[in-house]
Amino acid sequence: MNDDLRELYQDVIIEHSKRPRNFHVIADGHKADGYNPLCGDTVTVYLALDGEHVRDCAFQGHGCAISTAAASVMTETLKGKTRAEAEAIFQRYHDVVTGRIAVDAEALGKLAVFAGVSEFPARVKCATLCWHTARAALDGREEPVSTE
């Protein structure tokens, strides 16, 4: 990861962990709970849909800076996307944070800053917990999601 992206990564993580966006409950919609037993991160993801489109997305929970920032950026990213678009974004994001593919900043937008997580394999679960939980909410699964 180049120095500019590393600096942006740090800035986005700090900003979104201190002032998470969309940190609230959505009463009318889907929800799922997620848990990372290794570090204790918990998240509840709320999705309000209009047909196949995500009208609104929010989360609540507590966890490390990466987990909170990832959930915050995810909620901003998913708004207005279709289920298929959300799945494609998740797959690309997951491949980048696990180091399977190189980051494509244009394709991932703000999510590209999480490419640095690939340098810290123990933090991948922190960065993906919210995404696995959002997928469960979209699928209407009621059992909690675990990163284990």
pLDDT tens per residue across span 37-47 = 988 999 999 99
**pTM score, whole prediction:** 0.92
Buried b (16+ CB within 10 A) or exposed e, 84-119: eebeebbebbbebbeeeeebeeeebeebbbbbbbbe
Q: What does the pLDDT read at residue 110?
A: 86
- In three-state secondary structure terms, 138 is helix
Other Cβ atoms less than 10 A from the Cβ of 23: the count is: 14
pLDDT digits (tens, 9 = 90+) for 57-85: 999 999 999 999 999 999 999 999 999 99
Q: What does the pLDDT read at residue 68?
A: 96
At residue 41, what are phi and psi to the nearest 5 degrees?
A: -60, 135
Instruction: Report yes or no: 63 and 126 within 8 Å, Cβ to Cβ.
Output: yes
Question: Which positions ≥6 away from 125 have C-beta within 8 Å?
Answer: 36, 38, 39, 41, 147
